[in-house]
């Protein structure tokens, strides 16, 4: 009985977490605002292209939400750590939604900041 209860709790937790991380659950408009506000653009560029001594490329085709959350919570390299107090899972989903809207094949002419 104890094993069955434990399995049911684990399954319910997984189902809830999976729903929270649904790929289209994020708000891209809010995600863009958060990406800029939280300084993600400083290392990954305004359109997630990264490069050089900056952070890695994030867009197009961003990692699954679970991978992004894992990297933000427990970074592997020079990435600063972002606890849930700093950025919520829902906000991360919004940022991922923004990154998912960035088209492949951007060029300098497509980046407003480079065309002033």
CATH no. for residue 44? 1.10.760.10
Let me know if residue 62 belongs to a domain. Answer: yes
Higher-confidence residue of 71 and 77: namely 71
Q: What total number of domains does the chain contain?
A: 1
- The 10s digit of each residue's pLDDT in 8-17 is 333 334 444 4
Let me know if residue 113 belongs to a domain. Answer: no
- The 10s digit of each residue's pLDDT in 72-93 is 999 988 899 999 999 999 999 9
> Residue 3 is encoded by which pair of tokens?
């094993």
Mean pLDDT for 31-52 is: 93
CB-based contact 93:17 (threshold 8 Å): no
Other C-beta atoms closer than 10 Å to the C-beta of 32 total 21
């Amino acid at each position: 009985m104890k094993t069955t209860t434990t399995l049911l709790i684990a399954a319910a937790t997984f189902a809830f977490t999976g729903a929270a991380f649904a790929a289209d659950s994020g708000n891209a408009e809010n995600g863009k605002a958060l990406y800029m506000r939280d300084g993600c653009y400083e290392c990954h560029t305004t359109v997630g292209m990264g490069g050089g001594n900056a952070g890695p490329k994030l867009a197009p085709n961003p990692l699954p939400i679970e991978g992004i959350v894992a990297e933000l919570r427990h970074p592997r390299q020079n990435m600063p750590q972002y606890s849930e107090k700093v950025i919520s899972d829902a906000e991360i989903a919004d940022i991922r939604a923004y990154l998912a809207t960035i088209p492949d094949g951007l060029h300098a002419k497509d980046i407003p900041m480079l065309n002033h």
